Amino acid sequence: MGQLVTFQCPECSRYWVLSRDSIEPITVFRAAPADGSASAADGACVYLPFWVVEIDGAGLKVQIEEAVRELQSAAQAVIRTGYEGEGVKKIPATSEISHLAARIESLGIFKVYVPAFKSLNTYAYLKVGRLFTRIQPSFGFERSDGAGHPILCALRAEEAVSLIDFIFFATLPESIQSNGDFLDKIFLSPARPPRLVEFPFKERGASLVSIIGGFWISGRLVQGVESLVE
């Protein structure tokens, strides 16, 4: 199977994922636009798999605020002692942190999207995941269990979870991204097991346009895209 870690049984149409030393059943979903304004059935689509990892927004907001308080306390200690040097901690801009924390809390559940398709360019795992995660699109879940719909997934759930911090940080403003003291204190934890979801894309020349989210990516980022067109 090469890089693929999932397959569909041709007899029963169930999906399975290869673990380190066994195979396990897995439920695969397909994303559907929440407002019904566009349909994956409107012509040929390319379905790209993503692991959708849900994060508790309130918990992440608390973590962000605690991280800022710790940095502020460290900075105040420096002021009291009059010490200046490499050990001084940087504090993110209050306005940017407040905006970030408020947005995350308002979402309730913050989703991180980890691309799971095969790619010759590993930058795709950052670029596409960042786009989806930044947009936080609305969509519905439909079970994908029809015969003849194999899913070309090249990433296991535990591997996806190891990338969620990296993708989340990539969505932040540059001033926060560059603040290593702050990022060192942030660790995302899934609120529930990741779900494997296929998202529909339309081919537009050499590009793929996401039906959900409206952004586009280069078709060259996806290995074997020609075999995914239905």
The DSSP line for the chain is -TT--EEE-TTT--EEEE-SSSEEE--EEEEEETTSSS-TTSS--EEEEEEEEEEEHHHHHHHHHHHHHHHHHHHHHHHHHT--STTPPP---HHHHHHHHHHHHHHSEEEEEEE-S--S-THHHHHHHHHHHHH---EEEEE---TT--------HHHHHTTHHHHHHHTS-HHHHT-HHHHTT----BSS--EEEEEEEEEETTEEEETTT--EEEGGGSTTGGGGB-
**50-100 pLDDT tens trace:** 999 999 999 999 999 999 888 888 777 766 665 555 555 677 778 888 889
Instruction: Examine the pLDDT at 226 and tell me if it is beyond 60.
Output: no
pLDDT at 159: 92
* pTM score, whole prediction: 0.86
Whole-number mean pLDDT of the chain? 84
**pLDDT of 179-224, one tens digit each?**
888 899 999 999 999 999 999 999 888 888 999 988 888 888 776 6
